[in-house]
Amino acid sequence: MHKNQGPVYYNDYLMLDKFLSCQEPLSKKFATKEDPEAHDETLFIVVHQAYELWFKQILHDLDAVLTTFKKPTVEDSDFSYIIQRLDRIRKIQGVFNSHFEILETMTPMDFLEFRNLLIPASGFQSTQFREIEIKLGLNTVDRQGVDREFFLGRLNEKDRARLSALENTPSLLRLLEKWLERTPFTNKENFNFWTEYQNSIQKILSDDEATIQANVAHLSDKDKAMQLENLRITKETFANLFNEEAHNKIVAEGARKLSQKAILNALFIMLYRDEPMLTMPHQMMTIMMDIDENFTTWRYRHALLAQRMLGTKIGTGGSSGHTYLKKAADNNRVFVDLFNLSTYLIPRSRLPKIPAEIKKQLNFNSTPTA
């Protein structure tokens, strides 16, 4: 524990003189008798600064997670550390997603009082937001068309160079992928889990087909054809999971991000989440999904805010405004593959039984001593 070096004064410790003198409305600086200070510009600055402070804390925790997750072997104790920090990020997001409500007490007319003074500054230049995106796993190549140019294109040279370099360091998504690829258990001597799983799927799909055929008499030709077509698509979706070539094609098209091996092992964790050794990895993946979902909520919320303030006007950074932001919300997902794993879940009663020897490895094996 650190030793106290002398009396500490609250204002000094928090550097409040400095901190509270960082809210300088431009409309105050350029105020005239006809055009006085815009009262709500202070709120605009304070809300943005509050976000940037939270972004700072998120990066502080995310960096700690990345350092731990980079280790060649992630120990059990590392998992609780990673989970604790990711959980904190999730909670921060819960708080800051409601900051928009406060900003919306400013009316669009009040915003117009100072908006022109901001051009060409824009949220595009929030380097902390970009850093979070990159560290989670969203890079320039993941963007769509015009969005790609906007990603780092509105930054000054120094910031662009720093963030471009960051794109070449391992993100949370890539570290998760590498860790999943190393996960054992699914392919042991005397037990190939995936053969067993595919047998279960075959059985489920045959049962489904039998149900459709049995109900044929009650279905119109159109409905029957539709149900059989849906079944064909489901079979193809399952088959693609085990076809590495087809999988790699989907990754190249940008519809999936993780390698086939990583996705299969993530699925194993989801299916057997109740086994003690898989509980923490499952919890970790769940929080990663929550973080992804919370950022998507933030993006939609922010897109609505932009529409409320600007209508169909373009943004100060030159994008199409609300239309651009809504598209970015749809597209800019990190852990989308984890969400889509639900496609391949099957009822517990149909899960292949794990051999006793492997089940033992998935338990903590704490046998009573007395």
Q: How far is the CB of 87 from ligand HEM (least distance, A)?
A: 22
Binding footprint of ligand HEM on the chain (CB under 6 A): 47-48, 51, 103, 111, 122-124, 126, 129, 150, 302, 305-306, 309-310, 315-319, 321, 324-325, 328
Q: How far is the CB of 86 from ligand HEM (least distance, A)?
A: 21
- The tally of CA atoms less than 13 A away on the side-chain side of residue 225 is 3
Q: DSSP letter at 170? A: P
CA pair distance 294, 350, nearest whole angstrom: 33
Question: Which CB atom, from 143 or from 256, has the smaller least distance to ligand HEM?
Answer: 143
CB of 16 to ligand HEM, least distance (A): 22
Virtual torsion, Cα 136, 139, 141, 142, nearest 10 deg: 40
Minimal distance in Å, beta carbon 305 to ligand HEM? 5
**Nearest residue (CB) to ligand HEM, 170 versus 318:** 318
| Distance between CA atoms of residues 290 and 86, nearest Å | 10
CA distances from 295 to 20, 64, 165, 245, 319 (A): 28, 20, 23, 32, 20
- 257 or 327: CB nearest ligand HEM: 327
**Separation of alpha carbons 243 and 251, rounded Å:** 12
Contact criterion met (CB below 8 Å) for 171 and 134? yes
* Minimum gap (Å) between residue 155 Cβ and ligand HEM: 11
Structure token pair of residue 39: 């009262």
Cβ 138 to ligand HEM, closest distance in Å?
9
Would you say 85 or 299 has its CB closer to ligand HEM?
A: 299
| Residue 247 or 326 having the CB closest to ligand HEM | 326
Give the number of other Cβ atoms within 10 Å of residue 1's Cβ.
Answer: 3
Q: Which is nearer to ligand HEM, 321 or 352 (CB)?
A: 321
The two tokens of residue 241 are 């999971």
Q: List Cα–Cα distances, 213 to 101, 227, 237, 349, in angstroms.
A: 53, 10, 21, 24
Nearest C-alpha neighbor of 149 from the set 138, 158, 141, 137: 141
Residue 197 or residue 324: which is nearer to ligand HEM going by CB?
324
Q: What is the nearest approach in angstroms of ligand HEM to the Cβ of residue 252?
A: 24
